[in-house]
Structure 1
Amino acid sequence: MWNNPAFDDHEKITLVHDRASGLRAIIAIHSTHLGPSAGGTRFWHYADSAAALTDALRLSQGMSYKNALAGLPMGGGKAVILADANRTKPEEMMLAFGDAVEKLGGEYVTAEDVGITEADMDIVHRRTAHVTGLSAEEGESKVGTDPGPFTSHGIYLGLKQAVKHKLGKDSMAGVHVAVQGTGSVGSGLARYLAEDGAVLTLADVDQARAARLADELGAKTVNADAIMTVPCDVFSPNALGAILNADTIARLDCAVIAGGANNQLATAGDGDALNARGILWAPDYVINAGGIISVAVEYLSRDGSVSATIDDVNARIAQIPDRLEQIWVGSEASGEAANRVADAMARRAIGR
């Protein structure tokens, strides 16, 4: 761990093993400078445990930065559960994970991420109060439940700001957006864009899912391995991370990159490469903060320290475009890539 390139003076790494349920998990706490570390739990089948550790380290650092620049009084953490090849997830496994979160005494607050549902978080909640993103009862506020729609809304607002900044357009009508990933977040974003008259090309590893959404929205589809080379105005990555590297950046044919995937840059130097090509990049942990804003506000509201209405959450999400604009203006003034400007802002906020 100490020599892992993704290790960034993390405060605590917890390795969890529960033989009875088959649970193997890593909980990474990057920073508690601003408050308890917060970040979702990812359920994924990794090639090996080293890959799982790297993912936990990178994602938890990203959550520190995301929460800091979203103005939340929370630090950054992340958990990964190492799934088997069949993605076996018995209830006992999630209960054991809840026990592990509880033993951290509030240092880490969890929620759903890739492979985890609201129902899973409800099970975790049986063993710990340090969880958010729970199912809503009928008629209950949606704040703090499924974060996906809030994430999509924030990305939509940030993408429109990117188009205005780079292309000088106040309308999305006729703007061509290539959307990678049509899951909860990507599909929500695509629906917002279609309503605004954007031209959409969609792709997903689940081709049938992409085709269904394309039929609904009047969009085109391409194979998942072709979406990054589609000539377009905006490339919007909304699947897994580390997709922007020396090879893929050289093949991009877009003016803007704005999407919800975490850790889109394979290395910090890839942000420099985008900057050198004149491609405007929206730092992922800024543009995709809508979901964590929703679940964090719900969690913080339990002691009355913040208000947690839909309007409160949307008001916080509405600040995402201004934060992005500040980063882009700083990047253009300094000549530094947007990722380096954003990282410096976040590190100052967490005292590093």
Structure 2
Amino acid sequence: MTAWGFPDFDDHEGVHLFTDPVSGLRAVIAVHSTKLGPAAGGVRFWHYADHTSAITDALRLSRGMSFKNAMAGLDLGGGKGVVLADASGATISEAQLRAFGRAVESLGGRYVTAEDVGMSEARMKVIAEETRYVSGLPVASGAAGGDPGPYTALGVYLGVKAAAQRGLGATDMKGVRVAIQGVGSVGGGLAKLLAADGAVLTLADVDQPRASALAAEVGATTVPTEAILAADVDLVSPNALGAVLTEASIAALKAKVVAGGANNQLATRDDGRRVHDRGILYAPDYVINAGGIINVGLEYLGHGDEADVKARIARIPERLTQVWDESDATGDPTSEVADRIARRLIGRG
């Protein structure tokens, strides 16, 4: 199958497949757009059922990064890296990290990588020994950059509060029932912030001990992962992997609002319409979860410090409100409205 045959191929500027026989690296780097600047987006280390699934993920995620960076007002395009893990669960090796760094370097700055699922600051440091085009590295206190997770969590938290006000009429989060799917860096950070506000939390994670430990810490309850989206709550917050909003899961939603940090929450374009038709307020994922890329993006661009990062993150509710207002005015799903605005910004409207 050629790149043009993938349903999620969206006039990507480049789709690059890399192998390194010595280290065993197999990787995909998808560059969606460089209209606004170098294509920035993290690299994830993940096991896929087949190569087609890995390429599809890179295509979808890179397009999402184009839209996310444009909506965040960053001078960056959109790209994404995927390093394929094998079924054994073996961790990524230093040799593979270095090989991926050389792959990034070979693109001459068209793609800038950063931390994503399965990666860490320590692993980004190894990659950075092979390429200049990397962000999310350890930085001095008060500087922009470093681990993007807490900044993503902060932006999602602000977006969740805005969504609760818009969709539920909630003036604060006290007593608002929130189900959080995935309690890693982003979902866990979100849970702690919402718990401090008095929200009533239900948690789920594929790592059940992690979910249970966090629940004990913040006074939440837990449910199995397969039950979290259908929980009897006011707001559902997906913060794990994507494609969780399907025809079946949308039909089972009891919440009036969906607002979370996971990328590509909608399994298909039609699922955005399904959420809308059920009268459920949806916060488009790449708008609400932009905090992390704002942080590492400003680090790479050399613009501002941590205060500037937080000031930009504080504007996430304004961008969501723009989307919701246009959705109300046109009757179009918020997912389609956000795509339309983002496409205009990257010159594809």
TM-score normalised by the chain length of structure 2 = 0.98
What's 1:178 paired with? 179
SS of 2:226's equivalent in the other structure is coil
Shift of 1:87: 3.0
What's 1:93 paired with? 96
1:113-157 superposed Cα distances (whole Å, 9 cap, x missing partner): 000111110000001110001124xx5345210000000000000
SS of 2:31's equivalent in the other structure is strand
Alignment of 1:1-352 (within 5 A): 1-85=3-87, 86-136=89-139, 140-141=141-142, 143-301=144-302, 306-307=303-304, 309-352=305-348
| Aligned AA (1:75) | G
SS of 1:225's equivalent in the other structure is helix
1:84-109 superposed Cα distances (whole Å, 9 cap, x missing partner): 12233110110111111011110000
| Aligned AA (1:58) | R
Shift of 1:168: 1.3
In structure 2, stretches of 5+ residues that fail to align are: none
SS of 1:128's equivalent in the other structure is coil
Counterpart Cα distance in 1 of 2:48 and 2:245? 20
Counterpart Cα distance in 1 of 2:14 and 2:229? 36
1:17-47 superposed Cα distances (whole Å, 9 cap, x missing partner): 1100000000000000000000000100110
SS of 2:30's equivalent in the other structure is strand
1:225-270 superposed Cα distances (whole Å, 9 cap, x missing partner): 1101101110000000001011110000001000000000011111
| Aligned AA (1:55) | D
Q: Percent identity?
A: 60
Matched length: 345
Counterpart Cα distance in 1 of 2:16 and 2:103? 9
SS of 1:2's equivalent in the other structure is helix
1:35-63 superposed Cα distances (whole Å, 9 cap, x missing partner): 00000001001100000000000000000
Counterpart Cα distance in 2 of 1:195 and 1:87? 37
Counterpart Cα distance in 2 of 1:274 and 1:100? 39
Shift of 1:214: 0.2
| Aligned AA (1:341) | V
Contact 1:102-1:128 at 8 Å conserved across structures: yes
| Aligned AA (1:207) | Q
1:166-207 superposed Cα distances (whole Å, 9 cap, x missing partner): 111111000000000010100000000000000000000111
| Aligned AA (2:205) | D
SS of 2:5's equivalent in the other structure is coil
* Mean CA deviation greater in 142-151 or 325-334: 142-151
Contact 2:142-2:307 at 8 Å conserved across structures: no
SS of 1:205's equivalent in the other structure is coil
| Aligned AA (1:231) | D
Contact 1:37-1:109 at 8 Å conserved across structures: yes
SS of 2:336's equivalent in the other structure is helix
| Aligned AA (1:331) | S
Counterpart Cα distance in 2 of 1:252 and 1:126? 46
In structure 1, stretches of 5+ residues that fail to align are: none
Root-mean-square deviation (CA), in Å?
0.8
| Aligned AA (1:249) | I
* Consecutive aligned runs of 4 or more in structure 1 exceeding 4 Å deviation: none
TM-score normalised by the chain length of structure 1 = 0.97
Counterpart Cα distance in 1 of 2:17 and 2:132? 20
